[in-house]
Amino acid sequence: MPKIQRALLSVTDKSGVAEFARVLASLGVELVSTGGTAKLLREAGLQVRDVAELTGFPEMLDGRVKTLHPKVAGGMLAIRSNAAHMASLQDHGIVAIDMVVVNLYAFEEAAARTDASVEHLIENIDIGGPTMIRAAAKNYQDVAVVTSPADYASLAEELQASGGSLSAATHWRLAKAAFDRTAAYDRAISSRLARITMEDGAFSDQPPEPVPAVLDLHVGRSLPLRYGENPHQGAALYCEGGGIAGAEQLQGKELSYNNLVDLDAAWQLILEFDGPAAAVIKHTNPCGCAEQDSMLEAYRKALEADPVSAFGGVLAFNRELDEQTAEEITRVFTEAIAAPGYSQGALKVLSTRKNLRLLCVNKPAASTLVVKSISGGYLAQTGDLHRLERAKAVVKTKRAPTEEEWVALEFGWKVVKHVKSNAIVYARAGQSVSAGAGQMSRVDSVKVGAMKAELPLEGCVVASDAFFPFPDGVEEAAKHGITAVIQPGGSVKDDEVVEAADRLGLAMVFAGVRHFRH
């Protein structure tokens, strides 16, 4: 590629630009600049030519017009191998521009301000910047377009190694990044202004819609995966930031698609609890969960509910993982762990399991919107963030729950929300005992939960994610010694179900909220 002769620099984010410009100048590149960028470069001791000198036209309209000129656009868009293009430049006294270093007004920062006026938002919409970026990127084979300070170091290294030129591959990479940047910028403007309405000449700023009118799924790929759910399926992780997708992997084999799905299910469950809690997940369903006074006791209680299914599962904790708990974990084969932190002792213990994946999750998820693909489109919904308030729950039976039963019901209700429907959870205070998941009939989920139980069910409570359509589910649970039930209610046969509970001496609470999970 030809040596870069002339570069135009006009940046809002001025970090590193003087150092990069110094490298360009050392290679004999003529620097052309505007406004504050030109001032900064001069203060750094660099010789700079003003854009106004290049165009023969001064900056105007408070800086709104400075690079919107044929002598700028022409210098970027002329194809060097096109004789007619080069003749036009010569006829009109236009010089070629070989590099454009531009970043944009910080509209995203302005949009994030809760007190931003419409006028402030509009003034932070860049016009000349995107125009230059797109023009340079369109003529990528002749013009290098640099939109991010993060690229300065690698470009400087390449320029110095080559004596002042960049490879065709680098030109193409920069062009793609440039178009991606202007696309993201326009999306940010469009989505923010969409919330502003005007009536009788007055602006009104509306809160973001919980489910947006346009679903923007432009998210960068952060991690290619070996395969998807099965080896014949391709897969990758795309990260908006925070949560499991944005977690730091501290050790272990590379994460698989299924690891990530299970870890997310575990993490979402563990966030339900305020006290020290542990969750064991297998195929997205909790096979054990507990909230106790210590992390060690929480893990032990979670594991004892179904130690067979826990083999090869994933774990999540809502506190820093300590050394004692780590010692217990090493007794059972585990695929991956998610926690907000790990003590040095825990890391040392777990380092003996080289393949065990450890994730440090220390940031909340960037979005609460739940998105799934279906053939031909997408489904989106807000997250299920409901928490039971005892005062709003309705006792439907003659007998009200005891305090111990209430605590168990509240715990079971948190867990059943994270079990695949039809979902049934047998629970005690602070511990899930067993679960029936994914059955086509609710009474079968009750039976499966009882069949899988490793611990005694006598004295447990039952949580159901949706109403009991018939009394048979409650009657089946009662056979195993349960004492209380929590369910949403809403069946046409609610009266018959409550009557069965009274007949069996059970306490029954209607939460009034359904927790289907498909």
Cis peptide before 422 (omega within 30 of 0): yes
What are the DSSP E strand ranges found in 240-350? Answer: 248-251, 277-282, 285-291, 313-317, 334-339
Dist CA 470 CA 401 (whole Å): 22
In a domain, 415, yes or no: yes
Q: How far apart are alpha carbons 436 and 482 in whole angstroms? A: 15
pLDDT beyond 70 at 67? no
Using the 3D structure, point to which of 360, 381, 400 is the last residue of a domain. 360
Task: Using the predicted structure, report yes or no on whether residue 420 has a pLDDT greater than 90.
Answer: yes
Q: What is the pLDDT of residue 201?
A: 76
Q: Which of 5-14, 266-275, 283-292 has the lowest mean pLDDT?
A: 5-14
- For the cut 80, the answer to whether the pLDDT of residue 55 exceeds it is no
Q: What is the mean pLDDT of residues 88-106?
A: 85
pLDDT at 70 over 80: no
Average pLDDT score over residue span 474-488:
97
Residue 158 within a domain: yes
Instruction: Specify the pLDDT at position 209.
Output: 77
Locate 265 and state its tokens. 């299910």
Is a pLDDT exceeding 70 seen at residue 66? no
Write the pLDDT tens digit of every residue in 155-190: 999 999 999 889 999 999 999 999 988 988 888 888
pLDDT of 413 over the 80 cut: yes
Residue 201 forms part of a structural domain: no
As a whole number of angstroms, the distance between CA 431 and CA 414 comes to 11
Question: Residue 57 and residue 61: Cα distance in Å, rounded?
Answer: 12
Listed range (106-110, 141-145, 462-466) with the worst mean pLDDT: 106-110
- Percent of the chain at pLDDT > 90 equals 66
d(CA 49, CA 41): 10
Q: What is the pLDDT of residue 263?
A: 97
**Segment 2-24 mean pLDDT:** 90
Query: Are 188 and 252 in a shared domain?
Result: no
Are residues 44 and 176 both part of a single domain? yes
Q: Is 179 exposed, middle or buried (0-12, 13-18, 19+ CB in 10 A)?
A: middle
Q: CA-CA distance, 248 to 242, in Å (whole number)?
A: 10
Q: What is the reported pLDDT for 204? A: 78
**Same-domain pairing of 263 and 184:** no
Instruction: Grade residue 57 by pLDDT with cuts at 50, 70 and 90.
Output: low
In a domain? residue 436: yes
284 and 398 share a domain? no
Do 17 and 112 lie in one domain? The reply is: yes
Q: What would you report as the CA-atom Rg of the chain, rounded to the nearest whole angstrom?
A: 31
Q: What is the pLDDT of residue 68?
A: 67
Do 36 and 183 belong to one domain? yes
Q: Is residue 384 part of a domain?
A: no
The pair of three-digit structure tokens given for residue 6, joined into one six-digit string: 């002339």
- Domain containing residue 464: 392-510
Task: Provide φ and ψ at 41, rounded to 5°.
Answer: -65, -40
For residues 188 and 227, membership in a common domain is answered with no
Under the banding of pLDDT at 50, 70 and 90, the label for residue 1 is confident
| Burial readout 4-33 (b: 16 or more C-beta within 10 A, e: otherwise) | bebbbbbbbeeeebbebbbbbbebebbbbb
pLDDT value at 111 more than 80: no
Specify the CATH number for the domain of residue 159: 3.40.50.1380
- Which pLDDT does position 65 carry in this prediction? 64
Q: What is the CATH number of the domain that holds 437?
A: 3.40.140.20
In whole angstroms, give the CA distance from residue 236 to residue 250.
19
Q: Which region among 2-16, 256-270, 430-444 has the lowest average model confidence (pLDDT)? A: 2-16
pLDDT in tens, 227-255: 999 999 999 999 988 899 999 999 999 99
What's the mean pLDDT in 61-69?
A: 66
SS3 136: helix
The pLDDT value recorded for residue 463 is 98
The number of angstroms, rounded, from the C-alpha of 309 to the middle of its chain's C-alpha atoms is 29
**pLDDT higher for 58 or 45?**
45
Percent of the chain scoring above 70 in pLDDT: 97
How many domains in the chain? 3
* Measured CA distances, 396 to 187, 227, 462, 482 (Å): 51, 50, 15, 17
* Within-domain flag for 379: no
Query: Do residue 29 and residue 153 come from a single domain?
Result: yes
- Bridge pairing between strands 369-374 and 461-464: unpaired
- Residue 146: CA atoms inside 13 Å, Cβ hemisphere, count? 28
Give the dihedral sign, CA 129/135/138/142. negative
pLDDT of residue 56: 66
Q: How confident is the model at residue 80 (pLDDT cuts 50, 70, 90)?
A: confident
Q: What was the pLDDT predicted at 69?
A: 75
- The verdict on 186 and 46 lying in the same domain is yes
Which of 311, 339, 360 finishes a domain? 360
Give yes or no: residues 356 and 267 share one domain: yes
Per residue in 121-164, pLDDT (tens digit) is: 887 787 788 888 998 999 999 999 999 999 999 999 999 999 98
Average pLDDT over residues 480-504: 97
pLDDT at 36: 83
Q: Are residues 345 and 411 in the same domain?
A: no
Q: What element of type H or E holds 446?
A: helix 442-452
Q: Which residue has the higher pLDDT, 384 or 214?
A: 384
pLDDT tops 80 at residue 202? no
- Catalytic residue numbers read 138, 283
Contacts with 92 (C-beta within 8 Å, 6 or more apart), sequence order:
70, 71, 74
User: Does 254 lie in the same domain as 115?
Assistant: no
In a domain? residue 206? no
Residue 215 lies in a domain: no
pLDDT in tens, 25-40: 999 999 988 888 888 9
pLDDT at 314: 97
Q: What is the band of 62 on the pLDDT scale with cuts at 50, 70, 90?
A: low
- Extract long-range pairs of 158-162: CB within 8 Å, 24+ residues apart: 159/4, 159/23, 159/24, 159/27, 160/23, 160/27
- 208 DSSP assignment: P
Residue carrying structure tokens 């069949």: 451
pLDDT digits (tens, 9 = 90+) for 309-358: 999 999 999 999 999 999 999 999 999 999 999 999 999 999 999 999 99
Indicate the pLDDT class of residue 193, thresholds 50, 70 and 90: confident
**Cβ 432 vs Cβ 288: under 8 Å:** yes
